[in-house]
Chains A and B, each alone.
Chain A
Amino acid sequence: MNKQTINKILFWVVIIAIFFYMLFPFYWAINSSLKTEAQLQMTPATFVPRDPQNGNLAPTLRNYMAVLENERFMKGLLNSVLVAVTTTVLALSVGAFAAFALGKLRFRGKSASLYLILAMTMFPQVAVLTGLYAVINALGISAIPGMILSYMLFTLPFTAWVLTSFFKGLPMEIMQSAQVDGATPFQTFYMILLPLTMPALVTTGLLAFISAWNEYLFALTFTSIQPQYRTVPVAIALFTGQIARQEPFGEIMAAAVLVTIPLIILVLIFQQKIVAGLTAGAVKG
């Protein structure tokens, strides 16, 4: 074997190792989700669901049935969709306004505003936990609008920052020619810039959606006295079975798999866009 072949083999070994490292926990979750309580307690744990008596392959869908019938979990899915979608739409619309001003208009205090937005993208949520809790109580709003409002803390600066860089990249001539044609700045924004930035909006929106969907600290705190408004991450973290005495890990794994699948599909479809958005937010920033 020559050196090149060996290098090639080594390269593929590394690739396969990375592949397994990234995906193995999911495999283990799927494996466990297909086991009954008795199969889960088998020692040593088996790499596929096996019958405790004869060792035959014996997967079961019981856990999935249980999860789909679990009202709290299903309600959590609904809450999560509601919160994440509203947060995304709100962050995008408010953020796009700010980004247009920051990216394309001249005004005093611009660089200060830019610094502020950038600093806010790194703001530690836990630092305002008690204060935000008090604000939401004072406003007298329930947990759902409370979560939507507080998720602006990390989605709004992020969308504003990324969209600003997209707006900046758009050629000034488009705006100038629109102005020459008699368009007001707002018309320029609405009719020319917005359609042009649609791809950027999709990318940023996706990232905002994922971060809102995954948020845990605020969701856990604000729903502590209103369990009916729990989102999926909280529901999974606090998952209790319908009947099981101990933590029902089979059901938890089934729930984890069910939540992960749509995200994987989303990631597969929008892979390029997500990477572009991540890098626009960080590398170019």
Chain B
Amino acid sequence: MSKQKGLSDLAKIEERLAYWLLLPTLIILLIIAFYPLGSVFYNSFTNKAFASAEPVEFVGFKNYSQLLSFTIRELPPQVDAGGQPVLDDTGKVLYTRPLDVLPREPLRYRELSQFSLLGRRYVVGATDRDFLRGVWDTLIFTVIAVTLETIIGLGIALVVNVKFTGRGVMRAVMLVPWAIPTAVSSRMWEWMFRSTRVGFFNVVFQNLGLIQDPIPFLTSQNWQLPAMIAIDVWKTTPFMALLLLAGLQLIPGDIYEAADVDGASKLRQFFSLTLPLLRPTLAVALVFRTLDSLRVFDLFQIVLAQSRYSMASFTYYQLTNNRAMGYSSASSVIIFILIFIFAVLYIKILGGADSE
């Protein structure tokens, strides 16, 4: 009886100690994560401005509707007095200006993009086109960059997994792009992407005869995202490769010997042994990279500044340049929800796969 009591006393002491040990962590996280997150949620429903004397008002979902509202309108062709469509010099149909079609009340919609469908012309308008474009660009950036990083990373991991002299050097070299600050690598690549023949890529492309005139990689609408993806792939593929390499090294070598004996080709071995066994590692690496890439900030803010936004850099500029705390908070919340959805999706997919 007394022994029982002694044990439960010990258990109680242990439990109390555990809570004390966890307390500092919880307090810190409360101050820097939970409370700020709560205040961001709260502020996102207000018109709060930083360092402003204006009274803070509760505005409901106004910030959200301004960030997210978009509309699609048809652009009718311009017609002359005789009812004939007006053509421009090259013989293309001229359409009404988007400005005349998009609604102005209660909020003004601006042109986000245009597209043609079944012979008709449409315009997409948004109340905050910078934000929606930022969300779209960030999603595209994430999907393409993470896909490329996974494929190239897997390739590098497979190569470096072979035993060869200088493998240690190779692994160290792979850590270098990962280790340097993104701010530094962004500026290095910014310089390599210079729009004149001062820039490395323009010199090389021209020497190879690929281009006539220098490409303005960082100012041209079409080249901005590919350039961002190229920089990100360079910076984070090594991380991916190192994780996958560690995963590869967990696979016992004798299963390949058995496969060799059975006469399975190397390609077959890769798809039916390596890939399935690597799946847990691959999954974790994918989650990390995707969530990381969705909140990309350094790269966009340093290289493109305000000429093109990622979700995070849009939030930053709303806070620091416009001092729009409420508005910026609302965009923070949207990013948070988006990342949360991605995280849950991943966990669902991976969790489901694990229990199979």
Q: Which residues in A have some Cβ–Cβ distance to B below 8 Å? A: 11, 14-15, 18-19, 21-23, 25-26, 28-29, 32, 40-45, 94-95, 97-98, 100-102, 105-108, 110, 113, 117, 119-120, 122-135, 149-150, 152-153, 156-157, 160, 185-186, 210, 213-214, 216-217, 220-221, 224, 232-234, 236-237, 239, 249, 252-253, 256, 259-260, 263-264, 266-268, 271, 274-275, 278-279, 282-283, 285
Given contacts A122-B343, A253-B188, contact A267 B179 (CB under 8 A): yes
Contact of B320 among A32, A132, A221, A249 (CB under 8 A): A221
> Is the contact region of chain A dominated by helix, strand, or loop, or is it mixed?
helix
Minimum CB–CB distance from A280 to chain B (whole Å) comes to 9
- In the complex the two chains form, is B25's CB within 8 Å of A126's CB? no
- In the complex the two chains form, is A19's CB within 8 Å of B170's CB? yes
Minimum CB–CB distance from A234 to chain B (whole Å) comes to 7
- In the complex the two chains form, is A123's CB within 8 Å of B33's CB? yes
Contact of B21 among A98, A132, A152, A157 (CB under 8 A): A98
Given contacts A97-B21, A216-B182, A237-B183, contact A128 B33 (CB under 8 A): yes
B35 interface hit (Cβ, 8 Å): yes
For chain B, the bracket of interface size reads 35 or more
Given contacts A130-B332, A153-B32, contact A236 B18 (CB under 8 A): no
Most buried by B among A41, A43, A102, A285: A43
- For A100, the closest partner residue in chain B by CB is B21
- In the complex the two chains form, is B159's CB within 8 Å of A267's CB? no
Contact of B203 among A22, A40, A45, A131 (CB under 8 A): A45
Per the 8 Å Cβ criterion, residues 311-339 of B in contact with A are 311-312, 315-316, 319-320, 325, 328-329, 332-333, 335-336, 339
Q: Contacts of B156 on A, CB cut-off 8 Å?
A: 18
Bound state CA distance, A275 and B184, in angstroms? Answer: 22
Q: Contacts of B164 on A, CB cut-off 8 Å?
A: 11, 15
- In the complex the two chains form, is A130's CB within 8 Å of B319's CB? yes
Q: Contacts of B33 on A, CB cut-off 8 Å?
A: 120, 123, 128, 153
Given contacts A127-B335, A216-B182, contact A44 B207 (CB under 8 A): yes
B279 interface hit (Cβ, 8 Å): no
- In the complex the two chains form, is B40's CB within 8 Å of A127's CB? yes
Minimum CB–CB distance from A119 to chain B (whole Å) comes to 8
- For A270, the closest partner residue in chain B by CB is B175
Q: List 30 A-B contacts (CB under 8 A).
A: A18-B160, A19-B170, A22-B176, A25-B234, A43-B197, A45-B203, A97-B22, A122-B343, A126-B312, A126-B335, A128-B332, A130-B332, A133-B50, A149-B32, A152-B32, A214-B181, A220-B301, A224-B320, A236-B183, A236-B187, A256-B187, A259-B181, A271-B172, A274-B175, A278-B246, A279-B242, A279-B243, A279-B246, A282-B288, A283-B247
